[in-house]
């Protein structure tokens, strides 16, 4: 699906670690943008994409190195506003007749302050109210001579050309990174840039929903679509969007592997059947999964068994759906952005994410991926637009292998039942104390050990439960959530009092790294 009806901004990626943040800032201004690696942006690509404005990202290379990346020269003749960031600024200067030099004590990493000169520039509206702006620098090279037509509008101690522009052509270039958090007023620069480029802010979730529905109808025609539902936000939003678009042509398959949280299967099935009247197959295959997992304690073996069975089961049910030609998946934009590979030359790696890995090829199904253009928070906004309850949209992530990876050692029905109950009590505590939305992920795990305790004057020999809560932005790194001692004491008491079979509770203090969020 493409968004040709929107004004489009093109971000040419030179491999900066923070290019995705540029896209985030622009989407916050309701501007539709796409990131493409510089290798793919040819003259023909540019002509076809027809951007209303272009941003050149930062990158790790040096424009002083022979053969280093460049923007297509035709870009500068398109008559569209261009903004160069860091490496983007430098290649812009090099390509337009300026000069860039390396090192010589002018490298700058981290916080710096930029001061303005006397000239006014539309890009800088709302900047320098206090005489200077904090910015985030990360450069070894610097512009030593600006290209003809350019003027300097801001300098920092080690970047004499921190902000430069050729205002008549709407070409702007900055040495620092306005997209990062440590350039506190950086979002304003992007806002000014898209405003002066004439964007109307037509990228809204209501508009996206209508457009996505129309695109799904066009793609699918009168054919049947199947969708694997996990109960998570991405697959749920995908399913509901498809249901709005094609109604009865959609069948969802919810594979219940017996490793879900307490009452989860019933709640998911009820929500989809009652509220949305979606055709839903509830595949209760818990006996199969738990049977195959019997006696298995190696974490990777568990994951492999679950992954394989999941595909087998999904395929079994999908085969029964007559005329199915499409498989819907909740792939998100970060999964499809091609990453620039400097070591690997022009061949870039495409991260492709399959919720039901390998199925489309195996079954000869075509893919419908209506969330491919969205970031996670945009999926949440779309979910709200589609009427999903806020409490559902804000649920903590839950891994595909479910409770299996929260039960180190052998999985038994007894341990799973204890784990489900302990987890439910713990999450109830967090909700009651109003902490749920502050935490990225919280869950209980059951440890592969029994310990001795004393309850009601009697000896106990029961399971130990670990509780875990982490804060995170993307799940890649995580920090332990700092509960109060009082909260932890109350939670321990409730779990032991309310869950039979548990006599000890541990709090997992491990951050990621060195730990991972899940125990396995
Ligand atoms: P780790 O444990 O690797 O987890 O720190 C990072 C995030 O990913 C989730 N996770 C998974 N999600 N399938 C999923 O859909 C999986 O196999 C899987 N393993 C981990 C985990 O819950 C956390 O949010």
- Residue of 33, 86, 161, 407 marked catalytic: 86
The number of CA neighbours under 13 Å toward the Cβ of 487 is 17
- CA 45, chain centre distance (Å): 26
Of ligand 1's listed atoms, the one at least distance from the Cα of 441 is: 24
Of ligand 1's listed atoms, the one at least distance from the Cα of 405 is: 19
Tell me, using a 6 A CB cutoff, whether residue 198 lines ligand 1: no
73, two tokens? 């020269």
Q: What is the whole-number distance in angstroms between the Cα of residue 470 and the centre of ligand 1?
A: 13
Question: What is the per-residue pLDDT across 52-79, written as a single tens digit (0 to 9) for each?
Answer: 999 999 999 999 999 999 999 999 999 9
Question: What is the per-residue pLDDT across 470-494, written as a single tens digit (0 to 9) for each?
Answer: 998 778 788 999 999 999 999 999 9
Instruction: Tell whether the model's pLDDT for residue 125 goes beyond 90.
Output: yes
Q: How far apart are alpha carbons 2 and 306 in whole angstroms?
A: 35
**Alpha-helix residue ranges (DSSP H) falling in 374-412:** 376-385, 390-393
Instruction: Tell whether the model's pLDDT for residue 2 goes beyond 60.
Output: no
- Residue of 139, 177, 243, 257 marked catalytic: 177
- Residue of 179, 191, 285, 520 marked catalytic: 179
Beta strand extents in 337-440 (DSSP E only): 338-339, 349-350, 366-368
Instruction: Tell whether the model's pLDDT for residue 140 goes beyond 90.
Output: no
| 18 — pLDDT class (breaks 50, 70, 90) | confident
Averaged pLDDT for residues 186-215: 94
Q: What is the 3-state secondary structure (H, E, C) of 482-510?
A: CCCHHHHHHHHHHHHHHCCCEEEEEECCC
Q: What is the whole-number distance in angstroms between the Cα of residue 67 and the centre of ligand 1?
A: 40
Averaged pLDDT for residues 199-205: 91
pTM across the whole model: 0.74
| 182 — pLDDT class (breaks 50, 70, 90) | confident
Q: Ligand 1, residues 517, 519, 520: which to mutate, most atoms within 8 A of Cβ?
A: 517
Residue nearest to atom 20 of ligand 1 (CA): 399
Instruction: Tell whether the model's pLDDT for residue 29 goes beyond 50.
Output: yes
Question: What is the per-residue pLDDT across 185-195, written as a single tens digit (0 to 9) for each?
Answer: 999 999 999 99
Q: What is the mean pLDDT of the chain?
A: 91
| 104 — pLDDT class (breaks 50, 70, 90) | low
Residue 337, pLDDT score: 65
Q: Which residue shows structure tokens 């969007």?
A: 241
Residue 513, preceding bond cis, omega within 30 degrees?
A: yes
Instruction: Tell whether the model's pLDDT for residue 120 goes beyond 60.
Output: yes
Residue 161 appears among annotated catalytic residues: no
Tell me, using a 6 A CB cutoff, whether residue 402 lines ligand 1: no
Share of the chain above pLDDT 90, in %: 75
Q: What is the whole-number distance in angstroms between the Cα of residue 303 and the centre of ligand 1?
A: 11
Residue 86 appears among annotated catalytic residues: yes
Tell me, using a 6 A CB cutoff, whether residue 517 lines ligand 1: yes
Q: What is the whole-number distance in angstroms between the Cα of residue 347 and the centre of ligand 1?
A: 28
Residue 118, pLDDT score: 86
Tell me, using a 6 A CB cutoff, whether residue 518 lines ligand 1: yes
Residue nearest to atom 3 of ligand 1 (CA): 516
Tell me, using a 6 A CB cutoff, whether residue 232 lines ligand 1: no
Q: Ligand 1, residues 399, 403, 476, 480: which to mutate, most atoms within 8 A of Cβ?
A: 399
Residue nearest to atom 6 of ligand 1 (CA): 475
Among candidates 439, 464, 466, 430, which has minimal Cα distance to 450? 464
Question: What is the per-residue pLDDT across 279-293, written as a single tens digit (0 to 9) for each?
Answer: 999 999 999 999 999
Q: Ligand 1, residues 518, 519, 520: which to mutate, most atoms within 8 A of Cβ?
A: 518
Contacts of 365 (CB under 8 A, 6+ apart): 226, 318, 324, 325, 326, 327, 359
115, two tokens? 């001061």
Share of the chain above pLDDT 70, in %: 93
Residue 180, preceding bond cis, omega within 30 degrees?
A: no
Q: What is the whole-number distance in angstroms between the Cα of residue 345 and the centre of ligand 1?
A: 31
Instruction: Tell whether the model's pLDDT for residue 500 goes beyond 50.
Output: yes
Q: Ligand 1, residues 354, 397, 440, 471: which to mutate, most atoms within 8 A of Cβ?
A: 397
Flag the least confident range among 98-112, 339-353, 424-438: 339-353
Question: What is the per-residue pLDDT across 322-361, written as a single tens digit (0 to 9) for each?
Answer: 889 999 999 887 777 654 433 333 323 322 333 444 566 6
Instruction: Tell whether the model's pLDDT for residue 4 goes beyond 90.
Output: no
Instruction: Tell whether the model's pLDDT for residue 249 goes beyond 70.
Output: yes
| 278 — pLDDT class (breaks 50, 70, 90) | very high
| 211 — pLDDT class (breaks 50, 70, 90) | confident
Residue 138, pLDDT score: 84
- CA torsion 481-485-489-491 (nearest 10°) is -30
Residue nearest to atom 14 of ligand 1 (CA): 399
Distances (CA, A) of 190 to 84, 174, 398: 12, 12, 35
Q: 328 and 370 in contact (C-beta within 8 Å)?
A: yes
Q: How far apart are alpha carbons 108 and 160 in whole angstroms?
A: 12
Residue 119 appears among annotated catalytic residues: no
Residue 442, pLDDT score: 98
């Amino acid at each position: 699906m493409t968004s040709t009806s929107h004004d489009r901004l093109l971000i040419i990626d030179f491999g900066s670690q923070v290019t995705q943040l540029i896209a985030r800032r622009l989407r916050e201004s309701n501007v539709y943008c796409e990131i493409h690696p510089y290798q793919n942006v040819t003259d023909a690509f540019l002509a076809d994409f027809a951007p209303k404005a272009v941003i050149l990202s930062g990158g790790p290379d040096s424009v002083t190195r022979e053969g280093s990346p460049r923007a297509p020269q035709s870009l500068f003749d398109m008559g569209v506003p261009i903004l160069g960031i860091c490496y983007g600024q430098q290649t812009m200067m090099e390509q337009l007749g300026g000069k860039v030099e390396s090192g010589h004590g002018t490298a700058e990493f981290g916080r710096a302050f930029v001061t303005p000169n006397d000239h006014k520039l539309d890009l800088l509206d709302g900047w320098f109210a206090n005489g200077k702006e904090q910015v985030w620098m990360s450069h070894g090279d610097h512009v030593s001579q600006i290209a003809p037509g350019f003027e300097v509008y801001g300098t920092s101690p080690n970047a004499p050309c921190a902000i430069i522009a050729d205002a008549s052509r709407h070409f702007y270039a900055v040495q620092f990174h306005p997209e990062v958090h440590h350039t506190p007023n950086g979002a304003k620069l992007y806002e000014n840039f898209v405003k002066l480029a004439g964007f109307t802010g037509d990228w809204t979730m209501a508009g996206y929903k209508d457009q996505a529905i129309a695109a799904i109808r066009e793609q699918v025609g009168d054919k049947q679509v199947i969708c694997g539902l996990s109960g998570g936000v991405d697959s749920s939003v995908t399913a509901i969007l498809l249901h709005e678009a094609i109604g009865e042509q959609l069948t969802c398959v919810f594979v219940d592997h017996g490793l879900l949280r307490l009452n989860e299967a019933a709640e998911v099935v009820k929500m989809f059947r009652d509220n949305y009247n979606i055709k839903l197959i509830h595949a209760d295959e818990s006996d199969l999964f738990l049977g195959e997992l019997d006696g298995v304690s190696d974490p990777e073996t568990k994951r492999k068994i679950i992954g394989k069975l999941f595909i087998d089961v999904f395929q079994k049910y999908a085969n029964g759906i007559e005329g199915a030609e499409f498989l819907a998946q909740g792939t998100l934009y970060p999964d499809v952005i091609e990453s620039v590979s400097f070591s690997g030359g022009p061949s870039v790696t495409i991260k492709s994410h399959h919720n039901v890995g390998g199925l489309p090829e195996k079954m000869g199904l075509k893919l419908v991926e209506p969330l491919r253009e969205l970031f996670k928070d945009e999926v949440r906004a779309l979910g709200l637009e589609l009427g999903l309850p806020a409490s559902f949209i804000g649920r903590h992530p839950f891994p595909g292998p479910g409770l299996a990876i929260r039960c180190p050692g052998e999985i038994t029905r007894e341990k799973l039942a204890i784990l489900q109950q302990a987890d439910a009590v713990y999450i109830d505590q967090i909700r009651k104390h109003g902490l749920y939305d502050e935490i990225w992920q919280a869950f209980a795990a059951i440890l592969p050990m029994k310990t001795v305790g004393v309850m009601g004057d009697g000896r106990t020999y029961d399971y130990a439960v670990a509780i875990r809560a982490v804060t995170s932005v993307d799940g890649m790194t995580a920090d332990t959530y700092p509960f109060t001692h009082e909260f932890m004491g109350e939670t321990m008491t409730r779990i032991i009092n309310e869950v039979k079979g548990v006599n000890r509770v541990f709090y997992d203090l491990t951050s990621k790294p060195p730990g991972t969020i899940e125990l396995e």
